[in-house]
Amino acid sequence: MAEQTVIEAVREGMREMMEQDERVFVLGEDVQEGGVFRATEGFLDSFGATRVVDTPLAEASIVGVAIGASLNGLLPIAEIQFADFIHPAMDQILSEASRMRYRSVGDWSCPLVIRTPWGGGIHGALYHSQSIEAFYAHMPGLKVVAPAVPEDFKGMIKSAIEDPDPVLFLEHKKLYRSFKSDVPDDDYRTPIGPAAVRREGDDLTVYAYGLMLQECLQAAEAVAKDGVAVEVVDLRCLRPLDKETILASARKTGKILIVYEDNLTGGFGAEIAAIIAQEAFEYLDAPIMRLAGPEIPTMPYAPPLEHFYMPDAEKIAAAIAELAAY
**Active site (catalytic) residues:** 128
CA dist 202 and 51 (Å) reads: 50
Give the CA-trace dihedral at 172, 131, 158, 31, to 10 degrees. -70
CB 257 within 8 A of CB 205: yes
List the one residue out of 270, 74, 75, 29 whose CA is nearest residue 167: 75
| Cα gap 35→217, rounded to integer Å | 30
User: What residues have CB less than 8 Å from 115, skipping those under 6 apart?
Assistant: 10, 28, 39, 77, 78, 79, 80, 157, 169, 171
Measured torsion, CA atoms of residues 311, 313, 318, 323, in degrees rounded to the nearest 10: 90
Distance, in Å, from the CA atom of 211 to the CA atom of 6, rounded to the nearest integer, reads 11
Q: Which are the contacts of 325, defined by CB distance < 8 A and separation ≥ 6?
A: none
Is residue 131 within 8 A of residue 174, CB to CB? The reply is no
Q: Which residues of 48-85 are buried (b: 16+ CB within 10 A; e: fewer)?
A: eeebbbebeeebeebbbbbbebbbeebbbbbbbbbbbb
Peptide bond into 240 cis (omega under 30): yes
